[in-house]
Structure 1
Amino acid sequence: MYKQTTNINGPRMHAFVIGVGAYPHAKPDRGVLKDLRAVDDLPSAADSAKLMCDWLLANESQFVAKLASLEVLISDPANTDNRYVWAEQAKVDEATSANVESAGEAWLKRVTTRPGDTAFFYCCGHGAVYGGQPVLLLGDLNLKAANPWAHLNLGTLAQSLRRTNGLGCAFMFSDACGEFVTRLELSSAQDCRFFPAPLPFDKTLNNVSFLCAASEAQLAHDAAAPGFEGIANDGTGVRFGRFTQTVLKGLQGSSARWSRNGWYVDPLTLFQDLKKLKQIYFQNWKERPFDPYYAVTPGDFYPIIRHHNAELPLVIMTDPETRITDYDLHICQTNDKESPYLESRPTREREAWRLSVPASRDALYAVAVNSEGRHATPFIPSQPVFDHVVTVT
């Protein structure tokens, strides 16, 4: 186990993070199946798992169910070029079938010990679809002749969690491909199993969210075509999964909504925002398919994290669009001409104005000004505003 905290009152969250960036037995002249000797290592998968761990630890007290434990398995390739410098340098075990089974059993035991606790699961690596279910290929892929297709069946895990008595809710995220691999589909591969089989007649609850990076027959990662990864915006040149970076952007507050007594991010609204968040915050990524989907959808509001100072994305355009280069753009608290500007863009660019504003239930005004006049339209930044228009005619 990577981390455990016991002095928490109320519901607790138990996280399990898997990053499979190295496939040492799926290389030329190694392993048992010839067809599995050309699987590229994926440094971005290992680094994405590290990034997720750092985010979990940095926000441990902000989760609706406070973070109580964290299991981590990472198969890390030897490549050291433009890699993520991990703040937590503790050694973790590799993401092999045996280790996934052992760590998974420990994670599931903690999740089910106290009624009402929350499960958080994240994985990143090469993936596929097997029997109609999304799977993650593990670090001992192609090692054993008895089961060369070492994998974790993520869809079956999600269905098992839906049948887990006493579970408060579960949040699952998979940054892996949904590629259909004919030889895997025709095989008799056995999955790594640390959870009870989801029997069809067991009572199920709609308290599990499972969000995937790529739908069936789609790629999320491809070492030969790194557009499925994205270079971080921090200038380091480190690559992470595009899905992971976008999900984290939403979880960090960009996908917050007001509910009851605060600003929360929940999985349903996060999914609704993902494509727009990618367009706003990661415009430098080479355009490749970005098609996240819900494998399992929760039936109610299950917030993940609460933010006290959420920042929400705002996109402003004029109507007609061609007139945007004629105006300075501003954000004001009121429609009074003397109202001070909270934000300004005087550069008169052709593109829409993309910025972030503090989340609020009070109205603000988007204002377009030039020597010929002033135009203003109100909006309420109580959720992301992806298409606010100021009419200038």
Structure 2
Amino acid sequence: MALVFEVKDGDPAGPALHALIIGVGAYPHLKDGSGTPLPDLGRFGAPGQLTSPPRSALAWTDALIAARDEWLAPLGTVDLLVSSPPKPADDGGDDHEPATRDAIQSAFGRWWKRCDRHADNIALFVFCGHGLQAESQVLLAADFGHDEHSPWMKAFDFDRTRLAFMANHARTQLFVVDACREVTLANLETPVPYAPPLREPGKRDPLRCEFDFTARATSRKRSAYGKPNEPSYFTKALLRGLDGGAASRIRREWLVTTGDLAGHLDALMAMVDAPVGQQPQVTTTRSARIRRTPAPLAHLRVDCKPSRATGQADFSWHHDSLPARSRPVRSGEAWTVPDIPVGASTVAASFPELDYHDVKQKFIVFPPIYEDYVEVSARTQVHEIERP
């Protein structure tokens, strides 16, 4: 069974968060796979085995369970499907139900029913694996290419699946697609491939979703990235946001909303050092509060005004309850102080060359990245280059 978490002590009739997490890394019929390869793989962009999506799926699962009591609708169930490529020196076994097309379809049906029971449920869908862009985004199950004459039957149309889920009674719906959106020769030849959605939308279906958060790892025609055997940059950024990086203080609580998560996503991607060319795409409707967190951590990025003083400054950061931190090497670039408490901090800038007066400045830091400057004055009358 794909069910890896089910609450035992909650209210079965009350609202809950129900998650379906899919991570596909092992593709037997793609490049370097263990099965019969799909002919002419180049038409599909020559996709192969992946190590990051399974790690991303497991990271999502661990994060959901670890914060089970912090969600505004308590965590109810987590379904997990994972197909991992074999590790060196093992037999290729996997402790999780494989993410085949049939298994995804079955898990989706069970997840739909759980989400449909209460309007205040939170529905969370996460797919990590190969994706291609036709007129719709097509996501590849582990057994994609099993039938060379109908390879798309082991994939599914994400856009039509997402549209169909709008009819589910859960008013808050979060869909995360951590996959590429490249256009290949196969998609040019067949711009509307027959990749059946997990549920077909109906023209007369009601649109019950009030709080929509649909996030794709990258923009159309672009790739998504992750380091080998680590969660992807997109997953790291979203989980960082949910863990407080996108939190706002509302009535003495730190809360994460879908609006803040969408609005801070570019900054969160920068925090995890994602490639600049990967630009996530998010669509949202009304903002929903989804999680409360302890006081979060944030990054502080600081330089000098005038900017030419930045390269001469010895920066240090100070907080009443923590050891001071110092910039290890001078640079003309802004200094980033990572993972510091929100609230009041002090930055000191000293100038051993005596071109500028030493100064201390207090900042009120808030997540995810707070950027500001220390204003300094020259000891002698020199021409300063101001910020544009």
> Normalising to structure 2: TM-score of the pair?
0.82
Cα distance change, pair 50–313 in 1 and its aligned pair in 2 (3 A): same
1:177 aligns with 2:180: yes
Post-superposition CA distance 1:183-210 (Å, at most 9, x none): 2354464334443515377335441211
2:255 aligns with 264
- The separation in 2 between residues aligned to 1:329 and 1:204, in whole angstroms, is 53
Q: Is the 8 A contact 2:318 2:325 kept in 1?
A: no
1:290 aligns with 2:292: no
Q: Please, which runs of 5 or more residues in structure 1 have no aligned partner?
A: 82-88, 221-227, 232-237, 334-338
- The separation in 2 between residues aligned to 1:390 and 1:105, in whole angstroms, is 56
2:223 aligns with 219
Q: Is the 8 A contact 1:325 1:348 kept in 2?
A: no
SS at match of 2:289: coil
- What is the aligned counterpart of 1:326 among 312, 315, 334? 312
1:14 aligns with 2:18: yes
1:161 Cα deviation (Å)? 2.5
Cα distance change, pair 369–312 in 1 and its aligned pair in 2 (3 A): same
Cα distance change, pair 251–277 in 1 and its aligned pair in 2 (3 A): same
Q: Is the 8 A contact 2:167 2:205 kept in 1?
A: no
1:275 aligns with 2:272: no
1:142 aligns with 145
- What is the aligned counterpart of 2:226 among 226, 229, 245? 229
1:77 aligns with 85
Give 2:258's aligned amino acid: P
Give 1:242's aligned amino acid: Y
1:213 Cα deviation (Å)? 0.7
- What is the aligned counterpart of 1:249 among 230, 240, 245? 240
1:103-252 correspondence runs (5 A): 103-131=107-135, 133-145=136-148, 147-149=150-152, 150-164=154-168, 166-184=169-187, 186-187=189-190, 189-199=193-203, 202-203=206-207, 205-220=209-224, 228-230=225-227, 238-252=229-243
- What is the aligned counterpart of 2:367 among 359, 374, 383? 383
SS at match of 1:25: coil
1:235 aligns with none
Post-superposition CA distance 1:140-177 (Å, at most 9, x none): 1111256312222222232223232x313011111100
1:357 aligns with 2:359: no
Q: Is the 8 A contact 2:219 2:278 kept in 1?
A: no
Aligned-residue CA RMSD in angstroms?
2.9
- The separation in 2 between residues aligned to 1:248 and 1:199, in whole angstroms, is 35
- The separation in 2 between residues aligned to 1:261 and 1:67, in whole angstroms, is 23
Q: Is the 8 A contact 1:31 1:144 kept in 2?
A: no
Post-superposition CA distance 1:294-337 (Å, at most 9, x none): 1x31x22213321113112211111223312433434457xxxx
- What is the aligned counterpart of 1:368 among 335, 343, 349? 349
Answer with 371-380 or 305-314: which moved more.
371-380
Answer with 65-74 or 144-153: which moved more.
144-153
Q: Is the 8 A contact 2:28 2:143 kept in 1?
A: yes
Q: Is the 8 A contact 2:223 2:278 kept in 1?
A: no
- What is the aligned counterpart of 2:289 among 294, 298, 303? 303
1:181 Cα deviation (Å)? 2.5
Q: Is the 8 A contact 1:97 1:192 kept in 2?
A: no
Give 1:142's aligned amino acid: G
- The separation in 2 between residues aligned to 1:340 and 1:173, in whole angstroms, is 38
2:386 aligns with none
- The separation in 2 between residues aligned to 1:195 and 1:261, in whole angstroms, is 41
Q: Is the 8 A contact 1:256 1:310 kept in 2?
A: yes
1:97 Cα deviation (Å)? 0.9
Answer with 4-13 or 186-195: which moved more.
186-195
Give 1:382's aligned amino acid: F
- The separation in 1 between residues aligned to 2:328 and 2:94, in whole angstroms, is 47
> Normalising to structure 1: TM-score of the pair?
0.81
- The separation in 2 between residues aligned to 1:281 and 1:31, in whole angstroms, is 35
- What is the aligned counterpart of 1:313 among 281, 291, 299? 299
Q: Please, which runs of 5 or more residues in structure 2 have no aligned partner?
A: 378-388
2:49 aligns with 41
1:377 Cα deviation (Å)? 4.0
SS at match of 1:208: strand
- The separation in 2 between residues aligned to 1:268 and 1:13, in whole angstroms, is 18
1:47 Cα deviation (Å)? 1.7
2:385 aligns with none
1:4 aligns with 6
- The count of residues paired between Structure 1 and Structure 2 equals 360
1:368 Cα deviation (Å)? 2.4
- The separation in 2 between residues aligned to 1:340 and 1:251, in whole angstroms, is 25
Q: Is the 8 A contact 1:20 1:42 kept in 2?
A: yes
Q: Is the 8 A contact 1:275 1:290 kept in 2?
A: no
Cα distance change, pair 254–340 in 1 and its aligned pair in 2 (3 A): closer
Paired-residue identity, %: 23
1:338-357 correspondence runs (5 A): 343-345=324-326, 347=328, 349-350=330-331, 351-355=333-337, 356-357=339-340
SS at match of 2:81: strand
